[in-house]
Amino acid sequence: MRELLRYEIADRFPRAIIEDNAIIEDGAIIGENAVICSGAIIETNAIVSVNAIIRTGTIIKSGAIIGANTTIKSNAIIEKGNEGITIIGMYRYTAGCYFDSKSKEIIIRLDDYHKTIEEWDKEFNDGQDKSFIDPEDWKKRKNTYEFLKNYALNYNWIK
């Protein structure tokens, strides 16, 4: 499909932030206040919802739907069926999980940290993170992680 020109992007998505060198193909839909970072590619018929953030070098494949308030890490590839979920209100920050088709790994996001299940398990098994002074916050963070981990391990990701 055809890549949109800079002026077309500005006309079609005036309330989104689309950095230079981001590629938006004709037929893609970008929601208000979404941020598409430099080097990201949003393919035809992909949808990036309101307030979503697509980091540098990430490819959102045709037909994939990125939900509101979702953040996708740099250099990921998200295909239709692997978009995962975003949770608001279970913990102080937005959290979520998705399958990165490039690394072939499940990614869980807590706060602004995108890590694999193995990385999160190690962090939680090593004990309470010192940046979470309030034990109640740490407990909510761990419960949110466990919910996302369970969801991710039981979801039928397209690999």
CA distance 124 to 7: 47
Domain 6-154 has CATH 2.160.10: yes
Would you state the pLDDT for residue 7? 85
Q: In what order do the strands lie in the sheet with 71-72?
A: 17-18, 35-36, 53-54, 71-72
Would you state the pLDDT for residue 131? 62
Residue spans of the domains in the chain: they are 6-154
Q: What is the DSSP letter of 3?
A: B
Task: Give bridge partners of residue 3 from the DSSP assignment.
Answer: 25
Would you state the pLDDT for residue 136? 83
Would you state the pLDDT for residue 129? 61
Would you state the pLDDT for residue 132? 59
Would you state the pLDDT for residue 36? 97
pLDDT less than 70: residues of the chain: 1, 127-133, 158-159
Specify the pTM: 0.85
The residue whose two tokens read 């697509």 is 54
